[in-house]
Amino acid sequence: MVPNQLKNQHLLWRAGFGPMAEEFGQLTTASQKSYVEALFKASSKSPGYIDVASNALKGLVMGMDEIAKQNKQLSDEEKKQFRQQSRQDIKNLNLTWLNEMVNSGQQLREKLSLFWHGHFASRNLNILYQQQLLDVIRKNALGSFGDLLTEVSKSAAMINFLNNNQNRKGHPNENFAREVMELFTLGRGNYTESDVKEAARSFTGWGANVSGEFVFRKPQHDTGQKTVLGKTGNLTGDDVLDILLEQKQTARFVTQKIYRYFVNDQPDENKINWLSERFYKNNYNIQSLMKDIFSSDWFYEEKNIGSKIKSPVELIVGIRRILPMEIENADVQLLLQRLLGQLLFYPPNVAGWPGGKNWIDSSSLMLRLRIPQMIYVSGELNMKPKDDDDQMMGRMDGGEAKKADARKNKGNGKMGAQIVSSIDWNMYLKKFERVPREKLLDEMSKILLQTTAHVNDNTIKKFTDASSRESFIKTATIQLMSTPEYQLC
């Protein structure tokens, strides 16, 4: 029988980013029903807009608007200035959103937003477009999938990433039409090449201006007859999205992806069929789907607990939630994301991060096991990120690559960065103040590990400082977080 505490921690890890130290007291006694209600209530308000774009960049964009109206071009220096400032602002957007995941009471909304961030994957070096898309995702994360699909499809980030600005009457570009079917709605094998070609014609004229506003360029739209998934007419882009939502396969495809992300990598066909039927009948209401999952008895079955590998973002955010800390050099989290294979706003491709066992290889596992210790003792990262041209957005050609290497090597002659942090242990230590010394390790394991597999006590004790009760709790915690079992949630 699964203990109540483990069930509650399971819910907090899947519907959020794990428990915070101040929640320890209620983990053993609270019911799953009360936690589910609290999670949905906390995430009911619309989130605030995250705006980190610098005033200098916003001013440059306003100037670009005027230049565009005069059919002129930015100078090379202005383009370079825009790219540099935008890259820096995207780093700030990354860290700001990461802090929201750590500190926000809207855990369910932020966790779903991270899921949709991978589902509607978009790489774009324009900070204004990126933060607009993030806002669309966060606001619609628990709403209607149809609204979310439409707003994402009309976002400047997606329109530019999938080349729909180049989709014109007589010269259709099929990129967006193909991906909206393959990755966002139906899944591969549930449409034909003819459907893609006809849908592309329907999306002609869809574009975005410099400021990121959706623009329908009527002269560029193909007004001829088109047939998509058996529906014929003078179809527009909105018509095609409606046709896709009419397909039960869309509900099933999205539900299966949500099941694999929030429940188990191994799909249960019967449960997915039941969930997707209800999702479709509820007009694609995401909140209702998530309530169906988190309120079910089967969600808390032992086979679903501790069965998933934490994504890099889940790992970093989860550590920061359970051990509140100040990170002096916050940018080091960007390096960690790159090393571990999940840099926010830089998905590997339009399909997003594959997840599951793909998160782990020999080098990333070793780094994962070292992170808690590096946080505890301000350890140094000496690993060099792969020169992933996808993640570097094509900037690794020629001179840019040399400049990047020079920046990495600046100072100490090698790749290295310390994690300079200070942990506030007070709330965490308070949880264990009445626990007998001989039971400390067992109690800490119950909170930190989401698996029934028992970690060898002697192995943990071998690397702990037993000189005082407090030192033992701190060092044993770090050692437990440095085990392979801690990588699971």
Q: Averaging pLDDT over each range in 14-23, 76-85, 399-408, 445-454, which range is the top one?
A: 14-23
pLDDT at 387: 64
pLDDT at 424: 96
Residue 391 has pLDDT above 70, yes or no: no
pLDDT at 399: 43
Phi, psi dihedral angles at 330 (to 5 degrees): -55, -30
Spatial neighbors of 201 by CB under 8 A, at least 6 apart, are: 169, 172, 222, 224, 226, 235
pLDDT at 9: 98
Range from 244-253, 265-274, 279-288, 388-397 carrying the lowest mean pLDDT: 388-397
Predicted confidence (pLDDT) per residue in 69-89, tens digit: 656 677 788 788 888 999 999
pTM for this prediction? 0.94
Mean pLDDT, residues 114-128 = 96
Angle 466-469-470 from CA coordinates, rounded to 5°:
105
CA nearest to 424, candidates 327, 316, 318, 313: 327
Range from 52-66, 166-180, 194-208, 436-450 carrying the lowest mean pLDDT: 52-66
* Of residues 417 and 28, more confidently modeled: 28
CA nearest to 32, candidates 47, 58, 51, 12: 12
Contact 451, 488 (CB under 8 A): yes
Average pLDDT, the chain: 92
pLDDT at 411: 34
pLDDT at 452: 76
Residue 412 has pLDDT above 70, yes or no: no
Mean pLDDT, residues 277-291 = 98
pLDDT at 390: 44
CA nearest to 116, candidates 296, 282, 8, 258: 258
Tell me the sheet residues that pair with 76: none
pLDDT at 406: 40
pLDDT at 403: 45
pLDDT at 397: 38
Beta-carbon-side half-sphere exposure of residue 413 (alpha carbons within 13 Å): 0
Predicted confidence (pLDDT) per residue in 262-277, tens digit: 999 999 999 999 999 9
Predicted confidence (pLDDT) per residue in 173-226, tens digit: 999 999 999 999 999 999 999 999 999 999 999 999 989 999 999 999 999 999
Structure tokens that stand for 162 in this block: 């999938």
pLDDT at 306: 97
Predicted confidence (pLDDT) per residue in 294-353, tens digit: 999 999 999 999 999 999 999 999 999 999 999 999 999 999 999 999 999 999 999 999
pLDDT at 77: 84
SS3 215: strand
Question: What confidence category does residue 13 fall into, taking pLDDT thresholds of 50, 70 and 90?
Answer: very high
Mean pLDDT, residues 422-440 = 96
Residue 287 has pLDDT above 50, yes or no: yes
Mean pLDDT, residues 108-123 = 98
Spatial neighbors of 471 by CB under 8 A, at least 6 apart, are: 464, 465
Spatial neighbors of 273 by CB under 8 A, at least 6 apart, are: 252
Phi, psi dihedral angles at 301 (to 5 degrees): -70, 150
